[in-house]
Structure 1
Amino acid sequence: MTASSRSGQLGARLLHNRGMRASEEALTFLQPDLNQLGDPFDLPDMEAAVDRVFRAIGNQEKIAVYGDFDVDGLSATALLLHAIRDLSGTAVAHIPGRDGSGHGLDNNALTRLNADGVTLVITVDTGSNDADQIRFAETIGVDVIVTDHHIVEPGLRRPLALVNPHMASDGVGEGLTGAGVAFKLAQALYSRTDLNWPGHVIALAALGTVADVGPLKGENRVIVSEGLRQLQSTSHAGLTALLKLAHPNGGDLDTEALSFNVIPRLNAPGRLGAAVPSLNLLTANDPGEAMTLARQVDDMNTERRRLSQEAWDVARLELGNGPMQPALIVKSARFKSGILGPLAGRLSGEHGRPAIAIALGETHARASARSPESVDIHAVLSAVSDRFDQWGGHARAAGFTVANEHLDEVMDAIQGGVAAAGKDPGAGPPLRADAEIGFSDLGASTWDFIKVLGPYGEANPAPVFVTRNLNPVQIRTMGAGGRHLRIVLSDDRETWDAIGFGLGKAPLGDGAIDAIYSLRTNTWRGRTKQELHLLDIRPSAYEL
Structure 2
Amino acid sequence: MTITSSNQIQKQWKISTPPDLDGFADAGTGLPILIRTLLAKRGIVNTESARNYLATPKSLTDPTLMPNISKAVSRLIQACENNEKVGIFGDFDVDGITATTLLTEGLGNLGIQPIPYIPDRFSEGYGPNIEAIKKLADQDVTLLITADCGTSSVNEIDQANRLGMEVIIIDHHSIPTVLPPAYAIVNPKLNGSYGSEPAAVGVAYKVLTVLYQKMKRPYAHIEHQPLVALGTICDLVPLVGENRDFVRMGLEAIRSTNRPGILALAKESNLEVSEITAETLGWIFGPKINAAGRIKHGEIALRLLLTKNEVEAEILALELANLNQQRRHNTEKAIILLSKKINHSDMQKPLIITGDSTISSGIVGLAAAKIAEQFSRPSIVMEIGEHESRGSCRSANGFNIVELLQRHKDLFIKFGGHHGAAGFTINSERITELKNRFFKDANLHFNLNELNSELEIDEYLELNNNHHQTMQWLDLMGPYGIGNKVPVFLSEKIQIVGKSSVGKNKEHLQLKLIHQEQSWDAIHFNSSYHDLKIDEYIDIVFSLEHNNFRGKKKLQLQIKDLKRSNTE
TM-score (norm 1): 0.94
Q: What is residue 311 of structure 2 aligned with on the other side?
A: 288
Whether the 8 Å CA contact 1:216–1:458 is kept in 2: the answer is: yes
Query: Any residues of structure 2 matched to 1:40-119 within 5 Å, and which?
Result: 40-119=63-142
1:387 to 411, 424, 430: 411
Instruction: State the shift of 1:542 in Å.
Output: 3.9
Q: What is residue 456 of structure 1 aligned with on the other side?
A: 480
Deviation sequence 1:225-279 (CA, Å, 0-9, x none) = 1111222331111111112113536653222221211100000010114211001
2:200 to 154, 175, 178: 178
Whether the 8 Å CA contact 2:381–2:393 is kept in 1: the answer is: yes
Is structure 2 residue 234 aligned with structure 1 residue 215? no
User: How far apart in 1 are the matches of 2:303 and 2:209?
Assistant: 23
Q: How many pairs align?
A: 538
Q: What is residue 10 of structure 2 aligned with on the other side?
A: none
Deviates more, 1:271-280 or 1:190-199: 190-199
1:518 to 543, 546, 557: 543
User: How far apart in 2 are the matches of 1:183 and 1:458?
Assistant: 21
Distance 1:441 1:145, change over 3 A: same
Q: What is residue 268 of structure 1 aligned with on the other side?
A: 291
Deviates more, 1:4-13 or 1:260-269: 4-13
User: How far apart in 1 are the matches of 2:521 and 2:97?
Assistant: 38
User: How far apart in 1 are the matches of 2:440 and 2:475?
Assistant: 44
Q: What is residue 298 of structure 1 aligned with on the other side?
A: 321
Q: What is residue 313 of structure 1 aligned with on the other side?
A: 336
Q: Secondary structure at the match of 1:337?
A: coil
User: How far apart in 1 are the matches of 2:49 and 2:539?
Assistant: 34
Whether the 8 Å CA contact 1:507–1:538 is kept in 2: the answer is: no
Deviates more, 1:62-71 or 1:413-422: 413-422
Instruction: State the shift of 1:5 in Å.
Output: 6.0
Whether the 8 Å CA contact 1:124–1:146 is kept in 2: the answer is: yes
User: How far apart in 1 are the matches of 2:453 and 2:208?
Assistant: 38
Task: Specify the code of the residue in structure 2 equivalent to 1:271.
Answer: R
Instruction: State the shift of 1:62 in Å.
Output: 0.8
2:497 to 473, 478, 500: 473
Distance 1:386 1:373, change over 3 A: same
Instruction: State the shift of 1:75 in Å.
Output: 0.7
User: How far apart in 2 are the matches of 1:251 and 1:521?
Assistant: 14
Q: What is residue 428 of structure 1 aligned with on the other side?
A: 452
Whether the 8 Å CA contact 1:151–1:393 is kept in 2: the answer is: yes
1:403 to 406, 424, 427: 427
Is structure 2 residue 45 aligned with structure 1 residue 21? yes
Instruction: State the shift of 1:6 in Å.
Output: 10
Instruction: State the shift of 1:524 in Å.
Output: 2.1
Is structure 2 residue 259 aligned with structure 1 residue 236? yes
Whether the 8 Å CA contact 1:110–1:137 is kept in 2: the answer is: yes
1:187 to 184, 209, 222: 209
Task: Give percent identity, aligned residues only.
Answer: 32
Distance 1:434 1:43, change over 3 A: same
User: How far apart in 2 are the matches of 1:494 and 1:264?
Assistant: 36
Q: Secondary structure at the match of 2:454?
A: coil
Instruction: State the shift of 1:196 in Å.
Output: 2.8
User: How far apart in 2 are the matches of 1:206 and 1:298?
Assistant: 20
Instruction: State the shift of 1:372 in Å.
Output: 0.4
Deviates more, 1:41-50 or 1:497-506: 497-506
Distance 1:93 1:333, change over 3 A: same
User: How far apart in 2 are the matches of 1:337 and 1:288?
Assistant: 32
Task: Specify the code of the residue in structure 2 equivalent to 1:174.
Answer: S
Q: What is residue 498 of structure 1 aligned with on the other side?
A: 522
Q: What is residue 539 of structure 1 aligned with on the other side?
A: 564
Whether the 8 Å CA contact 1:506–1:537 is kept in 2: the answer is: no
Whether the 8 Å CA contact 1:74–1:279 is kept in 2: the answer is: yes
Where structure 1 has 5 or more consecutive residues not aligned to the other structure, the ranges are: none
Instruction: State the shift of 1:434 in Å.
Output: 1.4
Q: Secondary structure at the match of 1:167?
A: coil
Whether the 8 Å CA contact 1:312–1:343 is kept in 2: the answer is: yes
Deviation sequence 1:326-378 (CA, Å, 0-9, x none) = 22222111000010001000000011011111101120111001120242222
Task: Specify the code of the residue in structure 1 equivalent to 2:68.
Answer: D
Whether the 8 Å CA contact 1:104–1:126 is kept in 2: the answer is: yes
Whether the 8 Å CA contact 1:43–1:168 is kept in 2: the answer is: no
Q: Secondary structure at the match of 1:457?
A: coil
Whether the 8 Å CA contact 2:501–2:530 is kept in 1: the answer is: no
Distance 1:6 1:464, change over 3 A: farther
Distance 1:157 1:359, change over 3 A: closer
Q: Secondary structure at the match of 2:155?
A: helix
Task: Specify the code of the residue in structure 2 equivalent to 1:150.
Answer: H
Q: What is residue 362 of structure 1 aligned with on the other side?
A: 386
User: How far apart in 1 are the matches of 2:145 and 2:205?
Assistant: 13
Q: What is residue 228 of structure 2 aligned with on the other side?
A: 205
Task: Specify the code of the residue in structure 1 equivalent to 2:418.
Answer: H
Instruction: State the shift of 1:197 in Å.
Output: 2.2
Where structure 2 has 5 or more consecutive residues not aligned to the other structure, the ranges are: 1-27
Task: Specify the code of the residue in structure 2 equivalent to 1:24.
Answer: E
Q: What is residue 11 of structure 2 aligned with on the other side?
A: none
Task: Specify the code of the residue in structure 1 equivalent to 2:75.
Answer: R
User: How far apart in 2 are the matches of 1:177 and 1:492?
Assistant: 45
Task: Specify the code of the residue in structure 2 equivalent to 1:257.
Answer: T
Instruction: State the shift of 1:169 in Å.
Output: 4.1
Task: Specify the code of the residue in structure 2 equivalent to 1:449.
Answer: W
Deviation sequence 1:378-411 (CA, Å, 0-9, x none) = 2222232201001111222111111011111001
Is structure 2 residue 442 aligned with structure 1 residue 418? yes
User: How far apart in 2 are the matches of 1:507 and 1:18?
Assistant: 37
Task: Specify the code of the residue in structure 1 equivalent to 2:109.
Answer: D
Deviation sequence 1:444-493 (CA, Å, 0-9, x none) = 32121011111111111111111111111112221244311111111233
User: How far apart in 2 are the matches of 1:111 and 1:250?
Assistant: 41
Instruction: State the shift of 1:52 in Å.
Output: 1.0
Task: Specify the code of the residue in structure 2 equivalent to 1:530.
Answer: L
Q: Secondary structure at the match of 1:405?
A: helix
User: How far apart in 1 are the matches of 2:78 and 2:346?
Assistant: 61
Task: Specify the code of the residue in structure 1 equivalent to 2:526.
Answer: G
User: How far apart in 1 are the matches of 2:66 and 2:453?
Assistant: 35
User: How far apart in 1 are the matches of 2:100 and 2:452?
Assistant: 36
Task: Specify the code of the residue in structure 2 equivalent to 1:285.
Answer: K
TM-score (norm 2): 0.91
Q: Secondary structure at the match of 2:456?
A: coil
Deviates more, 1:473-482 or 1:458-467: 473-482
Q: What is residue 158 of structure 2 aligned with on the other side?
A: 135
Deviation sequence 1:205-232 (CA, Å, 0-9, x none) = 1111111111111111111111112223
Q: CA RMSD in A?
A: 2.0
User: How far apart in 2 are the matches of 1:353 and 1:235?
Assistant: 43
